[in-house]
Structures are given as structure tokens and as C-alpha cells.
């Protein structure tokens, strides 16, 4: 049953390998807790009767061991996913926990990468002997790091989105379109990649393809980042989204105003952009300390 659920997550829900294994660990830990909590073996009748009391008891036991609320929020998603699978396949009739809300947690600060770290990533990507795959992966990274694009925004780019001027059209969250300036060199490299890619393209085709000629899936880039992360000893929290964080942080450090950053990132609300200010606050303080005309002088 657990194996069937795992296959469902992988092939139908198309979760990343990291998420798959995290969900699997969560479920095993929860079932072990239930066995000890109720003092008996786990049966479907017990799964069918799960309620908030069981989940909250598990959350409490985890928090006593130093687990943070964010982890509990993901754990609830894992358990709800398993229960939903059982309901969909009519293994159980219903469950109260499907309507249970996730624990609240405070948003963590973005984790920007240094220029040196990005250069190491680029160097590692270039070692791929398959030239078009290397160029493809490199361009995906550069579009996220150099222009603040989300991974899904990059992979959704089509030939028609790359115009003849110095701008690129991006379809953001909720179908909201934004126009972002792009270097001519990047456009030239995209054209080079398209020329050596072993597939034919039309005006309406996706730019970034997998090795079978279909739209590149984010999990391929995620897997590549994990490989590089282990190879060059990057922080464990380095993900594709780290490049977008780095883009915003670099703009802040160079004193770009929040409103402009909001437009470039495609944030609906300025409050979403303001979370980046905490990341660069120390750097901004250094800039003011070194450049303000009254710095170091008494009032």
C-alpha cells in the first residue's frame, strides 16, 4: 500500500525525489509513533479513525525533540497525501485530517549565493560532455541568477517569447506577464543552444527540452543542483530558487529601489519583495557607513 502511494506521488503527482523521500520518511515516522501512542499494531481501522488529536500529539512529540513548525507543516502534507491516496482508491471511506490546517510558521529568510559559489556551479555545469545539455543547464541557471526568474518561468519560455529587442516576455504566477530586459549575449547563447539541440523547433515550441524532446521538467535541474551541491560543498539549502534570491539580494546591495525589484521579480505585492531587505541589511549598513557624509561624525 505504501509502495503504491509512493509510485502515485512519483508518476502522477510528479514530486521531486527530495520531496518523495521526505514524504516517505514522514509517513514511516508517523506510523511508528501511532503504534507506540495507541499501543497496538497499525491497521486500516486505526488509519480510518485518525483525527487532529493524533496529529497534534505527534507534532508535540516532534517539537519536544527540537523539530521546527515548518517541518511539521510538511509532515502534515505527507500524511494528508497518504490518506488522500487511500480515499481516492476507496481503501478507506473518509478522514477528518484532510480538512486539518497546517501549523503556522514564520517565513525563513532567503539564502543568497555568493558570486564565487555561482562561479563554481557554472564551472561544474561546463564539465558535462554533452555540449547542448551543458549549454541548456547553464542558460537555465543564468536566467534565474541574472534576471530573477523562477525555475518554472524559465522552463516555460517559448521561442516566440524571445523577441528581436533587448527584452524578454515572461509568464509569471497566475498568468501575469512581465517584460524583463535581457543581455544580447544571453540571446545569442540561446540561439547557439537551439542550433546544436538535436530537435527541430517551431515558433511556439519550448526553448528548454529534455533528452526525449519534451519540455524540460524542473526535477532535472533540481537533480543537477543536488549533484553540484555535493560536488563543490555548497550549503544543503541550495536550490534553484536560491538563484532568484541571489538576484534580489545583489540588486539591494547595489541600492536598487524596492519598487523596481518588485517589477523585475514579478511580485504582486511589495511586501513579498520586502522580505529580501533583511538579507542585505548588514551590507546596506556597510554602504551607508562608508559613503554617508556624516558617517563617524558627531551630531
CATH superfamily, domain 115-283, is Intergrase catalytic core (1.10.443.10)
- Per the annotation, the verdict on 275 as an active-site residue is no
Residue 68's pLDDT band, with cuts at 50, 70 and 90, is: low
Query: Which one of 62, 135, 150, 245 is the catalytic residue?
Result: 150
- Per the annotation, the verdict on 150 as an active-site residue is yes
Structure confidence by residue, pLDDT tens digits, 78-99: 888 999 999 899 998 888 888 8
Is the pLDDT at 14 greater than 90, yes or no?
no
Is the pLDDT at 164 greater than 80, yes or no?
no
2-99 belongs to which CATH class?
Answer: mainly alpha
What does the alpha-carbon distance between residue 121 and residue 184 come to, in Å, rounded to a whole number?
22
Higher pLDDT, 290 or 155: 155
- Per the annotation, the verdict on 267 as an active-site residue is yes
Query: Which one of 23, 62, 136, 276 is the catalytic residue?
Result: 276
Residues of the chain with CATH 1.10.150.130: 2-99
What does the alpha-carbon distance between residue 241 and residue 239 come to, in Å, rounded to a whole number?
5
What does the alpha-carbon distance between residue 243 and residue 170 come to, in Å, rounded to a whole number?
17
Residues of the chain with CATH 1.10.443.10: 115-283
**DSSP letter (8 states) at residue 50:** -
What does the alpha-carbon distance between residue 17 and residue 55 come to, in Å, rounded to a whole number?
25
Please state, rounded to an integer, the average pLDDT across all residues of the chain. 83
Structure confidence by residue, pLDDT tens digits, 174-219: 777 888 888 889 999 999 999 999 999 998 999 999 999 999 999 9
Query: Which one of 56, 173, 191, 268 is the catalytic residue?
Result: 173
Collect all residues with Cβ–Cβ distance below 8 Å to 33 and sequence separation of at least 6: 57, 58, 61
Residue 70 has a pLDDT of 63
CA dist list (Å): 273 to 220, 244, 297: 28, 12, 33
- Per the annotation, the verdict on 241 as an active-site residue is yes
- Per the annotation, the verdict on 226 as an active-site residue is no
Amino acid at each position: 500500500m505504501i509502495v503504491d502511494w509512493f509510485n502515485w506521488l512519483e508518476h502522477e503527482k510528479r514530486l521531486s525525489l527530495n520531496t518523495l523521500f521526505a514524504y516517505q520518511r514522514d509517513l514511516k515516522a508517523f506510523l511508528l509513533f501511532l503504534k507506540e501512542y495507541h499501543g497496538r499494531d497499525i491497521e486500516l481501522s486505526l488509519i480510518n479513525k485518525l483525527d487532529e488529536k493524533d496529529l497534534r500529539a505527534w507534532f508535540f512529540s516532534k517539537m519536544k525533540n527540537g523539530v521546527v513548525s515548518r517541518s511539521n507543516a510538511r509532515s502534515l502534507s505527507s500524511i494528508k497525501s497518504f490518506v488522500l491516496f487511500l480515499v481516492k482508491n476507496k481503501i478507506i471511506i473518509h478522514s477528518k485530517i484532510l480538512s486539518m490546517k497546517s501549523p503556522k510558521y514564520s517565513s525563513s529568510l532567503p539564502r543568497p549565493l555568493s558570486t564565487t559559489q555561482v562561479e563554481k556551479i557554472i564551472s561544474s555545469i561546463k564539465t558535462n560532455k554533452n555540449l547542448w545539455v551543458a549549454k541548456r543547464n547553464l542558460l537555465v541557471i543564468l536566467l534565474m541568477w541574472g534576471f530573477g526568474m523562477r525555475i518554472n518561468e524559465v522552463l516555460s519560455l517559448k521561442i516566440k517569447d524571445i523577441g528581436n529587442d533587448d527584452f524578454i516576455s515572461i509568464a509569471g504566477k497566475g498568468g501575469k506577464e512581465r517584460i524583463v530586459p535581457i543581455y544580447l549575449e544571453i540571446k545569442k547563447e540561446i540561439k547557439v543552444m537551439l542550433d546544436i539541440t538535436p530537435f527541430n523547433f517551431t515558433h511556439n515550441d519550448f526553448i528548454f527540452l529534455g533528452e526525449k524532446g519534451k519540455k524540460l521538467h524542473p526535477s532535472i535541474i533540481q537533480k543537477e543542483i543536488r549533484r553540484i551541491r555535493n560536488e563543490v560543498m555548497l550549503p544543503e539549502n541550495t536550490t534553484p530558487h536560491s538563484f532568484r534570491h541571489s538576484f534580489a539580494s545583489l540588486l539591494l546591495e547595489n541600492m536598487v529601489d524596492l519598487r523596481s525589484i518588485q517589477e523585475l521579480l514579478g511580485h504582486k505585492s511589495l511586501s513579498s519583495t520586502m522580505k529580501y531587505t533583511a538579507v542585505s541589511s548588514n551590507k546596506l549598513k556597510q554602504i551607508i557607513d562608508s559613503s554617508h557624509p556624516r558617517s563617524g561624525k558627531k551630531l
